Amino acid sequence: MRVLVTGSAGFIGSHIVEALAAAGHEVVGLDLRAAAGTAAGDVRDPERVARCLAGADAVCHQAAMVGLGTDIHDLPAYTSVNAFGTAVLLSEMARSGVGRLLLASSMVVYGEGRYTCPEHGPTPAPPRAEEDLAAGRFEPGCPRCGAPLEPSTIGESTGLDPRNVYADTKVAQEHLAASWARATRGRVIALRYHNVYGPRMPRDTPYAGVAAIFRSALERGAAPEVFEDGAQRRDFVHVRDVAAANVLALESAWSRPFRAYNVASGDPRTVGEMARALAAACGGPDPVVTGQYRLGDVRHIVASPERARRELGFTAAVSFEAGLAEFARRPVNEPR
């Protein structure tokens, strides 16, 4: 199969390119950064996109501006790259007759994870108030009785509830792709990545993932700074597992106009656990829990990977311990 991979020189995209090639697929790359086998260009450029789509059977759309960002002034850039860029790609796919889109989505589309109140049962968690965060009250409470909520796993049928600008644009990508599928009779698979880490992860920037921020601190000889109390739960999934999920999805039946899948390890950990394990693997200082917070961060988001296992045959192969040990010694990329 001939596959256009956008964002092909990036952290996740470069691993996907390698996995697709190893599986026997022909890959065409498009990225802002020139690299071997990659056409340098912007996904917002219709002419460049059209040229890269020539002869393609499917598109694997990884190009995006990622991370929570720094403040509301990031809104135009996120919207331009993620929403407008996806709209340009979809328009050119319709024009070129390419009918399959593999979309890099994210767990951020869910907002907070799924919770249960001891008294009221399953309960959506409202956005956390800044006064609660400032006072060190990090766990969301039941909006009806105020009792602490118990977190549980979240499935793909859960409603979308974005809590920051990046999440808004990932939801927009899914909605745009679904509209394109209805209008063109195309097929979309949205892979909702959880906390991806591994070799080639970008270095410490305001848009980097927490694993990269901790790793950069340790390289400087500094202790990783853990926000809140470190007990926020995430699912850390290795980048090679994410690449493997993309290959499996590409080679699947594409039986529905739109289908979403959680791409997760199924082995949730706290951010504090991640920081301690990485510090130990790097031989660096122990993490420091700061109590700092960021508005827009969610407390717990843990996925059920069951649908991907059942329908795609995907099961994460890289363990938390082995993945972090490798990440501690492998190179990371300079910010783009």
pLDDT digits (tens, 9 = 90+) for 139-182: 999 999 988 899 989 999 999 999 889 999 999 999 999 999 99
pLDDT digits (tens, 9 = 90+) for 183-210: 999 999 999 999 999 999 887 665 568 8
How open is the CA angle 64-325-12, to the nearest 5 degrees? 15
Enumerate domains of the chain plus CATH numbers. 2-113+154-328 (3.40.50.720), 114-153 (no CATH)
Helix (H) / strand (E) containing 311: helix 306-312
3-state secondary structure 210-247: HHHHHHHHHHCCCCCEECCCCCCEECEEEHHHHHHHHH
Structure tokens at 70: 């720094």
Amino acid 126: pLDDT: 86
- CB burial class (10 A; 0-12, 13-18, 19+) of residue 219? middle
Global pTM value = 0.93
- Tokens 């700092």 — which residue? 292
